[in-house]
Each structure stands twice: as C-alpha cells, then as structure tokens.
A and B are shown apart, each in its own frame.
Chain A
Amino acid sequence: MRKFLNGPWVLLMPTLIILTCVVLLPLLLSLWTSFTPFKLTKPDTLYRFVGFRNYERLIGDIDFWIAFGRTVLFLAIALNLELVFGLGIALLINKITYGQRTLRTLMMFPMMFSPILVGFQWKYIFNDNIGLMNNFLREFGVIQPIPWLVDGILANVSIMAAEIWSSTSVFAILLLAGLLGIPKDPIEAAKVDGCNSWQVFKNITLPFLMPFVFIAMTIRSLDVARAYDIVQMMTGGGPAKRTELLWTLISRTGYVDAKMGMANAMSYISIFLSIAFTFFFFYKLVEARQRLSYE
C-alpha cells in the first residue's frame, strides 16, 4: 500500500479521476443509452435494455446510410477545398513583406463569427427571392432566379461555400505557421541550382509543409461538426433530405423526436467515421515526418 501511495499512480490519480468523470462516464452512459429505447420525455426508458435493436434498425435504414455517405462526401470535398484555398492564401501572405500582420488579422475574421451567424448570413446570400447572389446575377441577365437552397446539388454547394468561407482561415493560419518555420537554405540552394518556382514548391516547400497539412486536416476533421449550425440555419437538412448530414439527422432524432437512444446509436456508428478520418490523417502525418527526417 505504502509502495502504491509513493508511486506514480498517486500523481496520475487526479488526471484519471477528472478524465473518468468528464470523458469516460458520459461516453459509457451514451453507449448504454444506444442499447435502450431511451426517450428524453420518458426517463424510465433509460433502464429498458433492448440489445442491438437500434443498431439493427439503422443497418436497414436507407435514409441513415444516405446521410452517412453524404457526410463523408461533404467532409472529403470541404476539407480538401479548404486545404487548397488555405494553402493558396498562406503562400500569398508569406510572399508579401508589407502589411502581413494586418492581413493575418483580417484573415481570421470569418473564424470570429459563430456558425449560427454564418448560416443566417449565407442563407440570405443564397435566398432565391431577395438574396444577394440572385440579384447580382440578375445584373448580368440571369432573370430566372436560381433556387440555390432547393436544388440537390446547388444546395450542397451553397452549404459547402458557407463552411469553406468560415473555416479556410484555420488552414491558412496553420500552414502559414509552417511556412514561416521552413529553413531558407534549401530553398536558396535549389534556386542557385536552377530550380524554377514550381520545382522549389513541389520538392522543398510542400514536403516541409506536409506535417502541418495533416495536423490541420486532423484538427478540422474533428472540428468540422461545428458546421451543424450552418446546415441547420441554411436548409435544416432539406428540402426532401437533399442536404441531410449525420449531424442534422442525429440532432433531430435526439432533441426534436426526443429519441436519444436511437440518436446515440447513430452517433456511435458515425464515431467510426471520425476515427477513420483521424487515423488516416495521423498515419499520413507520421509518414510525412519520417520522410522529412530521411531527407
């Protein structure tokens, strides 16, 4: 006992207790509810075990899997476009010598808006009747209003535009930090050896930057569910489920229909999605670091 009290476990105990209370217990409770028909409005249902019934229903629920697939597609496209735009912005800002601080501050403005406000703002921009976009297009002779938030493809593109506007600066800031940390010697040596700008970027800048890319990707893939508010404000997952993502579906099931047991079962299936994305990006991060150290 004395040995235990003097050992490292004692020092770890506060952390373990806090982690258990704040992370582990809520996770276990929500896992338990996914095996029950728990309804928020009927607390007694928390104690009725129904085994895998919620999961069995979800396996056969085509709406859930369509929302799942759409979420994967949304994540893949949005994150990659944010990376491309963020990298472009970071490279441009890295080039300038005057006003860089001001631009860096301006670049962070979209991050300061709450996702709900971003959703309202872009809903107005894409409103088919009074929206800025259709009025702008009208100036160029597009008389028939485009139903941005109704058409299946356009509605998803509109939501993605809002999400990309809101979050590209996260990539830009992280990548800019990476760019500022790249040693100048290899770049100057390459230029002396006759490499053009593209060759310098491809063979020196990008490999140095890849760890930052994957760190940014990992952070954003975990954080992207914040876009729930944007989707909820702009379309609510509709019309006719055309923009339904896992987040809107889970939220409606859990809080509007009050079926928290089913919503948690959906969440646990979707957690695999998050784990898969995170695992992939960590794997790529380690790989990029190793490649960098070999070189």
Chain B
Amino acid sequence: MLRLFLSLILAVSFFGSFSAKAETELWGDFSGVTLRVKLIGGGQYEGLYNEVIPWWEENTGGKIEIVTQKNHFELDKEIKKDIASGNLDFCVASNHTSFASQYGNIYTDLNNIMPASVLADYTPLILEHSTVDGRLVQMPRHSDVSNLYYQKSLYEDADNKANFKAKYGYDLTPPETWDQVKDQAIFFSNPPDFYGTQYVGKEEAIAGRFYELVIANGGALFDEDYRPIFNSAAGVEALQWFIDLYNAKAVPDGVLNYLWDDTGLGFASGTIAMNLDWAGWAGFFNDPENSKVAGDIGLVRAPMGSGGLRTGWSGSHSFSMTESCPDKEAAASFLWALTSNKAQMIEARGGLSPTRPAIWDAIIAEKKAEGDEFMLMVFETFKMSLAEDAFTPPLIPEWIEFTNVLYPELQAAILGDKSPEDALATASKKATEIMEDAGYF
C-alpha cells in the first residue's frame, strides 16, 4: 500500500499553449530514495528521459539511477538473464505489451498500487492490453500501429493515372485493399532505382506483418486452445502477397534483412512509393533536412485484406515496476511521471501516439492552432486507426519463441525455397510443439 505521505492531488496541468483535462498527479516526498531503472534506449526514446527525470527529481527529492539503457531486444535478453540469476535489483524497467507476458510474476500488479483515479486517465482498451493474467503489469507509454504513407505526387501525375487505369481497369487512388497495394506497387516499381513498397523482412517484424494480414484476410494464428491454424487459405493468401511482391521486384532485393530503421530510412530516401509504418516516423518523413519526400506525403489508414478487415497489429511501449522494488511508492510516482500528460505531450509532439485520450485531444487542438496540416492528418489517421483497427498479437509468453519458428519459414517461401503451403505446414508443426511443451494442450 502507498505510504500516507504520498500526495494524491487533482490538478490541472498546463504546458505549452494547451491546457489538458484535469489529471490526477502522483507526487510525494522521496528525499533519500534512489530508484534503479532499466530503460529502452535510442534516439526516439531518450528525449523523454531528459525531460521527465529532472522534473521528477526536482519535485520529489528522489534520484534516478539509470542502470541500463539499450535497445529493446537487448534489454529483453538482459531481463531474462536477471530473472534466471534472481538478480532483480532494479525498480522500474521499460516493457512492451508483446514482451510482458514472458516475464512471469517479476512485475507488480499495478492495480494494487496505482489509484483508480490515475488509471482512469488512460485509454481503457490499452490498459486491458497491458494486463497479463488479470494483473496490470505495465503503464502504457505510447502505442504502435501502422498506417500507409505514400508519395502524393505519384497519385497526382496524369500519365500515371491514365496508364494505371489502362493496365488494371480501375482508378489510381491511395489503396483501400492490400490487393490494390500489390497492383500499385508493381505499377510504380522501376528497379533498382525505385520500388513500389517494402516490408520488414525478418524476426518478429515480418511475423507480425504476416499475422495482421492473416487477420485482415479473415483467418487467425491460433484457435481458442492455442492450436496453430494459420496454415489455412487466409494464411497462404497472406504469404502469397509477400511472395508476389518479391518476385515482381516491387520491393528491394535485400528486404528480407530489413527491420524498422531500414524501411523508415528507405521511404525517406525517396525511392519507395508506399510504406506501412508507425506514427513515430511522420515528423522525420516530413523534415526536408532528413527526407527527400518532405512535403509530398499522403497517409491513409492501413488497407483491408480479403476478409474486409484492416491490418492493425498493435502494441504499446510501457514501463513496469518490479515486485522486489523496496520503494514502491516512489516507483509508482515515477511510473506516473513517465506516462503523465506532460510526458505524453512531449512524445506526441514528436509524432508518437499517446495512451491518454486527453492527449489525443490536446495534440490535435495544438496542431490545428499551429496550422500544421500534415501532423494533423497524421494524428487524426492514427487516432482512428488505434480506435477502430488495432489488435494485439496473442498476449502469451510464447509469442516471441513462436515468431522465431515462423519467420524463417516465411522467408523460405518468399525466396522460393519452399511453397507457401510447405512453409506454413513446417511452421505450424513447430508451433504445435511449442504450444504442447507450454502445456496449452
């Protein structure tokens, strides 16, 4: 339970030109307390720490000691080693909804720590996704979902319009379905100078992209008992989409080694017509110093699969508190600060999607006031997408292990080493072993 001296006040936060809705703040006097924390590092993540940590230290008298700051996959390995060695000598760590279920009970149930009035400030669905086995193990920082960026001028070009209509029999407009994405990507491609699109090609990244396309095609990865069922018509259709683009050279040859930075930088280089990506890149794409497509970017909601659903693989970056933390009150206060209105507004200004409804309203109001039409479009599109299209991967501890057996098979089919049916059959067999070992059936 929280100590009595932890102040719980209802306040109105003011920052910038905007006044957000009333926020429950969680300050306290933590003089003499030092919180050891392990945080995700990297350019897009560290700006928050530079602002929030001094702010929290100044207001509470506590100190933050950053023990580790590294990319999420390395952090994940480190925390697994910490669990194995029983050396959980830190209080707060970065987490993610896709990773959280792996870590067992090392993180505290925040339902017992965070006042209900604090939790009420977050989007309920995102808190639900942050819950593992009924325990709220993370406070959501910002959410990920992907939508389709495209080069506007390609769609405004009269020759492109006429040629496309003549070849495919329908008008060239930003795509509404993944089949249209395929047509348009092949139409725009002129390798090796220009490609219609690209995709992340390895590890969890391509497994997640395949997953969302299976869902959009009306399929599923697992049945209710977690038996793999992705070796289906919807699964083969999804995999065939990747194969067709690769064979048509509508994506770069090296795409199977691409991860998120490669696709983002590729679109900014001006050599890619369409790019499915998250909101965090928006500001970069539209910055003339970094991007050759600045000022020429359109954005539409992620297209639909054959099942009539839009793709919407989603998750949230988050922060968790260890069960072993000796200063849970201070850690709770720090968790709140890291995901507070102030913190989320800082990240929203960089293009990241907030997890508090108040910040969506605030950032949209701010962009309207500034007359920033591009970022306004970005926030409105992502807000709608997160509200209507987003879905998480199965929140099970075996998710990452499962993606590690799935992605080499997807790659083998894309490269032509196996047929899509053979590749999915092999992946399904291995996934069944994982689920059996984990005791699902």
Q: Which of A127, A128, A144, A239 contacts B415 (CB 8 A)?
A: A239
Contacts of B266 in A (CB 8 A): 129
Interface 1/0s, chain A 76-99, versus B by CB < 8 A? 000000000000000000000000
B368 to chain A, nearest CB (A): 38
Residue of A nearest to B403 (CB): A256
Residue of A nearest to B413 (CB): A240
A132 an interface residue at 8 Å Cβ cutoff? no
Q: Indicate if the CB atoms of B397 and A41 lie closer than 8 Å.
A: yes
Q: Indicate if the CB atoms of A40 and B252 lie closer than 8 Å.
A: no
Q: Indicate if the CB atoms of B256 and A239 lie closer than 8 Å.
A: yes
Once A129-B266, A144-B192 are accepted as A-B contacts, the answer to whether A239 and B257 lie under 8 Å apart by CB is yes
| Partner-contacting stretch, out of A145-153, A184-192, A197-205, A206-214 | A145-153
Contacts of B269 in A (CB 8 A): 130
Q: Indicate if the CB atoms of A239 and B201 lie closer than 8 Å.
A: yes
Give 10 A-B contacts (CB < 8 Å), ordered by A residue.
A40-B83, A43-B84, A128-B252, A239-B414, A239-B415, A240-B409, A240-B412, A257-B404, A258-B80, A258-B401
Q: Indicate if the CB atoms of B84 and A149 lie closer than 8 Å.
A: no
A252 an interface residue at 8 Å Cβ cutoff? yes
Contacting residues of chain B (276-327) with chain A, CB-CB under 8 angstroms? none
Interface 1/0s, chain A 227-238, versus B by CB < 8 A? 000000001101
Contacts of B201 in A (CB 8 A): 239
Closest 7 CB pairs of A and B: A128-B254, A239-B256, A147-B253, A240-B411, A240-B412, A40-B80, A40-B84
Q: Indicate if the CB atoms of A145 and B192 lie closer than 8 Å.
A: yes
Contacting residues of chain B (407-424) with chain A, CB-CB under 8 angstroms? 407-409, 411-412, 414-415, 417
Contacts of B256 in A (CB 8 A): 150, 238-240
Complex Cα–Cα for A42 and B397 (A): 11
B132 to chain A, nearest CB (A): 13
A280 an interface residue at 8 Å Cβ cutoff? no
Q: Indicate if the CB atoms of A257 and B401 lie closer than 8 Å.
A: yes
Q: What does DSSP make chain B's interface, helix, strand, loop or mixed?
A: helix
Show the binding face of A for B, using Cβ within 8 Å: 37, 40-43, 127-130, 143-145, 147-150, 235-236, 238-241, 252, 255-260
Q: Indicate if the CB atoms of B80 and A252 lie closer than 8 Å.
A: no
A-B contact count (CB 8 A): 90
Complex Cα–Cα for A41 and B271 (A): 43
Tally of contact residues, B, Cβ under 8 A: 37
Q: Indicate if the CB atoms of B202 and A236 lie closer than 8 Å.
A: yes
Complex Cα–Cα for A62 and B293 (A): 46
Once A241-B408, A257-B401 are accepted as A-B contacts, the answer to whether A41 and B83 lie under 8 Å apart by CB is yes
Complex Cα–Cα for A198 and B311 (A): 68
Residue of A nearest to B430 (CB): A63
Contacts of B254 in A (CB 8 A): 127-129, 147-150
Q: Indicate if the CB atoms of B102 and A41 lie closer than 8 Å.
A: yes
Contacts of B167 in A (CB 8 A): none
Once A41-B103, A43-B86, A129-B266 are accepted as A-B contacts, the answer to whether A255 and B80 lie under 8 Å apart by CB is yes
Complex Cα–Cα for A256 and B404 (A): 9
B400 an interface residue at 8 Å Cβ cutoff? yes
Contacts of A255 in B (CB 8 A): 77, 80-81
Contacting residues of chain B (387-441) with chain A, CB-CB under 8 angstroms? 397, 400-401, 404, 407-409, 411-412, 414-415, 417, 437
B85 to chain A, nearest CB (A): 8
